[in-house]
Amino acid sequence: MITIFATPKPFRGHIKIIQRNAIRSWTLLRPKCEILLFGDEEGTKAVASELGVRHIPQVARNDHGTPLISDLFEKSQQLSTHDVLCYVNCDILLMSDFISAIQRIINQKHRFLLVGQRWGLNVSEDLDLMHSWEEKFKARVRQNGTLGHPTGIDYFVFTRGLLGKIPPFAVGRAGWDNWMIYRARSLHAAVIDLTPATMVVHQNHDYSHLSQGENDVYKSDEAKGNLKILNHRGLTTEDATHLLTPEKLRLTLDQRHFWRHLGTLSMLYPSLRLPIQIFLKTLSVSHPLRSVLGLTLASPRIKSGDD
């Protein structure tokens, strides 16, 4: 039904624990998913063998040795046996409601990009993923977890060929995840926010796996390179065209989303910039209010979905 692909960090210390938790959770999804792990980072081959998933050691990298999003998405679509694929970060736990949500969308849409906010939770132990683990774990998340910001996106479910050629973004650096939503919107695909219908959990961690810590994500040369490619064209889950609730799939036509969509029209369709400015002037909307509503031409606050 679905091909899940990812590129792990080196399996060391705390990162080793949470990555094994995440990948194990993917192997328990039903219907059974095809899982592809890319890269030759320490421990990847051994964990892939242990958990019975496919390992592809070759992945294109930039001059800093960081895997490239473009190659990950291209290779995964070449190797996948399914037409629906899911890129997910290797610290993300997925549960049965995730598959249920995707099945609901497949029955209604042919071209789509599915995204959503993550829940953050401190996890330091090997999780017991047996004996109806999901119900107990969700209770733990509700009690101790925190719903993340709409700018941080840790997974993308998409139909094969939807996104076309992807620029050479560096994995785990700011901006690329926000570009993906812009890309799908610019191609008139349905961008669907799964947040109300799923609980996707990020296992919190530090930045010790990076040489410059958190600065590598947001301020390094690689991050600046990603943001240069992004070129103020980043969107968030708040810019989705649809929202999947437990009851139904609906268009984002409420007042909050309307103003968001109005603010992004000039980004998606530059020829509309002047008409939109005239419209706002006609409404006598003040500049500070436009900023609050997301109606300025500045890019949204970018936060990498990898951390």
Q: What is the pLDDT of residue 19?
A: 98
User: How many contiguous H segments (helices) and E segments (strands) does the chain have?
Assistant: 11, 13
pLDDT digits (tens, 9 = 90+) for 95-140: 999 999 999 999 999 999 999 999 999 999 999 999 889 999 999 9
DSSP code at position 195: G
| CA atoms 146, 149, 154, 156: torsion sign | positive
210 by Cβ neighbours in 10 Å (0-12 / 13-18 / 19+) ranks as middle
Angle (CA) 191-27-169 rounded to 5° is: 45
Q: What is the pLDDT of residue 278?
A: 80
Buried b (16+ CB within 10 A) or exposed e, 84-123: bbbbbbbbbbbbebbbebbebbbeeeeebbbbbbbbbbeb
Q: What is the pLDDT of residue 207?
A: 59
Q: What is the pLDDT of residue 96?
A: 97
CB neighbours of residue 29 within 10 Å? 18
Amino acid at 9: K
Q: What is the pLDDT of residue 81?
A: 97
Kindly list the structural domains of the chain, giving each domain's residue range(s) and its CATH number in brackets, ordered by start. Answer: 3-242 (3.90.550.10)
Task: Specify whether the CB–CB gap between 291 and 139 falls below 8 A.
Answer: no
Q: What is the pLDDT of residue 216?
A: 58
Q: What is the pLDDT of residue 218?
A: 63
In whole angstroms, what is the distance from residue 252 CA to residue 250 CA?
Answer: 6
Q: What is the pLDDT of residue 307?
A: 57
CB neighbours of residue 285 within 10 Å? 14
In whole angstroms, what is the distance from residue 244 CA to residue 236 CA?
Answer: 16
Residues in the chain, pLDDT under 70: 206-218, 283-307
Q: In what order do the strands lie in the sheet with 201-203?
A: 92-93, 201-203, 119-121, 146-147
